[in-house]
Structure 1
Amino acid sequence: MTLTQTTAADIAPLQDLLDRIALFPGEMLPDMIASYLNGDTMQLWLTLREGDKPLGFCFAEPEQLTEGTWNMRAIGVAADAQRSGHGATIVSGLEARLRDLGARLLIVDTASSEELAPARGLYRKLGYAEEARIRDFWAPGEDKIVYWKALS
């Protein structure tokens, strides 16, 4: 398995992956990643591959008006590859790259829904602490939870 920067060739397979896991609509991906592929942004997109097949990805960007704080905006792993350590591989690889860029902190926003309990467990297992909770943020009864981890 390899974790590399996402390329234009990854868009179609990642769209398929996104549609299968319902993280967000795959049709949104080309617009979301365009600035990164054009080199017009500090965003970081990484794709985990087994051979030519993408198994997962993540997307992070620096938080504006901060010194070295990044936000992992999205992480996804193919449904048939979940709970196999791939999410941890992606997050650990992202952290290493961000350290090389001089990042101090990585934050992750997620939801309190039961379906995202495995993701919250992964963040805690990897040393992230729950820093904030905004009640009813995503919908009534669904809180926004912010996790953080010091990278230095």
Structure 2
Amino acid sequence: MSTEDEKLLKEAKKLPWEERLLHKNWKVRNDANIDLAILCDSITDPKDPRLRDFGPLFRKTVADSNAPVQEKALDALIAFLRAADADAGRYAKEVCDAIVAKCLTGRPKTVEKAQIAFLLWVELEATEVFLIEMEESM
């Protein structure tokens, strides 16, 4: 990685999550998704207020046009869903919509991660949303 890229990534880490996750540079978005997955993996309390802030961001991140970034966004979503409780179900509809629209016809690994995310939504008692999305996608 060039020093220019390193500088860009270092500066981007100072930005709020939403700006990093939706940045015009794919490397910044990729790095932000990796950091978000690590952070969500470290959260042990499902009532952690940061989880409420992250939930709405996934609707846009899993629909990223860059395939590697999209995979990292799914990794972050999976980490989020593992850390969250049933309260995260409030984001299920819009995030599942984005997954159906953008992730089920991509690379095999992307499809696999999308399926894992759907199963985690079911575990979080968002079964109805999941079933509706699956029915509409067929």
State TM-score, norm by structure 1. 0.33
Higher helix share: 2
Larger RCO (CA under 8 A, 6+ residues apart): 2
Higher strand share: 1
